[in-house]
Chain A
Amino acid sequence: MSIKFTRTGVPIQMMFKSRVVGSNEVRPGLELLTKYTDMVRLDVWPALLNEPDGYSRLRLGTPLLVLVASILLCAPAMAQPAFTLPAPPFELPFVPPASGTWNVMVGVGGEYAPKFEGSKSSILSPVPIISIRRVGSSTDQFRGSRDSSSIALLEFGDLRAGPAAKIIRARKASDYSELRGLGDVKTAFELGGFVEYFPVDWFRARAELRQGIGGHQGAVADLYADFIVPVMQRFVISGGPRFSWESTKATSPYFSVDAVQAMSSGLPAFSAKGGAHSVGVGAQVSYRVDPKWEVRGYVEYQRLLGDAAASPLVALRGSPNQTTFGVGASYSFDFRIR
């Protein structure tokens, strides 16, 4: 289990997240928005999720579901804090004091996504969610389901920018029959930056550029646009086009087939080059049933392009069409630190 932690502004969001759109991606935990959103994110990524069969995920999910259920049963559905904790005995320099009212959000969801990028079959994974943030921090800030974890260090009018990071999970040839004979690809850490622009409340354009370390050493660029339409104050629909570009070093480890792999896998040898990687569309809906309950759903479709789509792994054993569905429900309650 890995834990990432960052400082500052205050609210701490802890999220147990499984697979992300498009198969192998998982989000590293590290998000810190402006002092107004005041968010620090802690993501805990259990190694168990690397298990190929999916059952270990379910076993991990069970105690969390019990925890979630216990909290739901114990926490009163009210605006008053559910409980009060004593003030901490000390304070850390440069870190705002913990005193005040905090909001806890617990929830569960599920994501049905391709087993690996280029796969034609999908698996369902549970997505437990736990977040803790200071009351009043903006929970409504739009966030796309494909966004990397990011820190908005700069805000210049309607423009936000900062570092972004994403983890691409290791791909083991032994995990799935389609990969048999191909080499393993280690976990890749993609580090870079993002810029997003809100010319009006109902439209966002976002660009990310990340450099891979580990499983691939290439560059990846993502472009997203989202129209955000509030149907009612509590019901928001959003969606828009997506485009990805990857360099040869980012594409090759996942889509090339060398001579040795060709012999052992039965696939023809192939050298994947970089370029336009995928194009697609995505949509999200969120409905806040009341101030405590919220449900969300999303769908992301990607069509692999260029050498990613032409790879024998995709052309002969997989599919260039990659669709991910996700749903989730969360419950929030407050507590107070003296």
Chain B
Amino acid sequence: MLYRSRFLSFAIALLLAVGSSGCAMLETRQTKLQAVKTVGIISAVGDEFTFEKGGLTGLNERSQSFPVGSWGLDDMIVQRATLALNGRFQVQPVTYNRSAFAAVEKGPIEASVNFIRKDPFKNLVQSEVSPQGLDAYIVISKAKSKFGNGGRKLYGMGFITYGTVLASYHHIHALYEVRVINGKTFDMIEKRVAQPLDNAGAVRLAGPSRLVDESFSPGVVDPARNDKLQAAITDLVARSLSSTLNDMHLAEVR
């Protein structure tokens, strides 16, 4: 009897210990976010625009990149994100080395194993952002997505012509992801890729995109001076940013 009672006590103690540590392990991002009062917003997606050809292509089709920093896309993103988050957090202006954040591109080896690699943005937030000491930093950076049946990947902002036997289709895309990084420990609280918009239609990209006509092509107008292209990309980002922040429960009012 005594043995049974001791065993029972031990079992309960063990259960409580496991339960409490389990609760800590299973802490939701909501719990983590509740401690966050001050945030800084970093955006590094709008420095360049790529043009690619996919589908039925020649053997040596290479992508082209054009600088579009003059569009002011990152400033627009920071401005809109600030407006969206201000209801919940105290957003403080931060200065950062935008080119360092924009230059982070995953190396040639990438895939599922990446989840065990150290996120490069943690180091950048530590070394390239001022002021330090805020509760969290929201980092908006370029994302990648597969396109079509093959191994083609698209990155950040761009335009792709998809060639088929019967026709060619033109798409623009704005692929980005949002990270919330703890300002004290620099651990990532959450990361979310911007989702496709409702009008994505038959295009299946892991981010905002839309079908456009050929007038958006770089062969017609220099991208940096193509107002139509700038307006379309800005619209993609603006519409998807609020839903992404909502999905991350960042834009909710307390």
Interface: A53 (CB within 8 A)? no
With both chains docked as a complex, state the minimum distance between the C-beta of A336 and any C-beta of chain B, in angstroms.
Answer: 9
Residue in contact with A232 in the complex, picked from B144, B151, B167, CB distance below 8 Å: B167
Residues of B within 8 Å of A32, CB to CB, are: 112
Give the residues from 77 to 106 in chain A that come closer than 8 angstroms, CB to CB, to chain B: 79-80, 87, 89-94, 96-97, 99-101
Give the residues from 150 to 191 in chain A that come closer than 8 angstroms, CB to CB, to chain B: 151-158, 160, 162
Interface: B219 (CB within 8 A)? no
Residue in contact with A90 in the complex, picked from B28, B61, B198, CB distance below 8 Å: B28
The stretch of B10-18, B67-75, B188-196 that contacts the partner chain: B188-196
With both chains docked as a complex, state the minimum distance between the C-beta of B107 and any C-beta of chain A, in angstroms.
Answer: 9
The proximity string for A residues 57-91 relative to B, scoring 1 for CB distances below 8 Å and 0 otherwise, is 00000000000000000000001100000010111
What's the Cα separation between A33 and B114 when bound, in Å?
12
What's the Cα separation between A141 and B61 when bound, in Å?
20
With both chains docked as a complex, state the minimum distance between the C-beta of B228 and any C-beta of chain A, in angstroms.
Answer: 22
What's the Cα separation between A42 and B149 when bound, in Å?
22
Interface: A137 (CB within 8 A)? yes
- The reply to whether A35 and B111 form a contact with Cβ atoms under 8 Å apart is yes
- The reply to whether B196 and A228 form a contact with Cβ atoms under 8 Å apart is no
When C-beta atoms are compared, the residue in chain A nearest to B171 turns out to be A233
With both chains docked as a complex, state the minimum distance between the C-beta of B222 and any C-beta of chain A, in angstroms.
Answer: 27
With both chains docked as a complex, state the minimum distance between the C-beta of B214 and any C-beta of chain A, in angstroms.
Answer: 15
Interface: A19 (CB within 8 A)? no
For chain A, what secondary structure do more than half of its interface residues adopt (helix, strand, loop), or is it mixed?
loop
With both chains docked as a complex, state the minimum distance between the C-beta of A235 and any C-beta of chain B, in angstroms.
Answer: 8
- The reply to whether A35 and B162 form a contact with Cβ atoms under 8 Å apart is no
Interface: B113 (CB within 8 A)? yes
Give the residues from 97 to 116 in chain B that come closer than 8 angstroms, CB to CB, to chain A: 108-115
- Which of under 10, 10 to 19, 20 to 34, or 35 or more describes the interface residues of A? 35 or more
Interface: A327 (CB within 8 A)? no
Residues of B within 8 Å of A96, CB to CB, are: 191
Interface: A288 (CB within 8 A)? yes
Give the residues from 105 to 152 in chain B that come closer than 8 angstroms, CB to CB, to chain A: 108-115, 144-152
When C-beta atoms are compared, the residue in chain B nearest to A97 turns out to be B29
When C-beta atoms are compared, the residue in chain A nearest to B146 turns out to be A138
Residue in contact with B150 in the complex, picked from A37, A94, A202, CB distance below 8 Å: A202
- The reply to whether A154 and B149 form a contact with Cβ atoms under 8 Å apart is no
- The reply to whether A233 and B202 form a contact with Cβ atoms under 8 Å apart is yes
Residues of A within 8 Å of B235, CB to CB, are: none
Given that A198-B150, A201-B54 are contacting pairs, would A136 and B112 also be in contact in the complex, using a CB cutoff of 8 Å?
A: no
With both chains docked as a complex, state the minimum distance between the C-beta of A145 and any C-beta of chain B, in angstroms.
Answer: 14
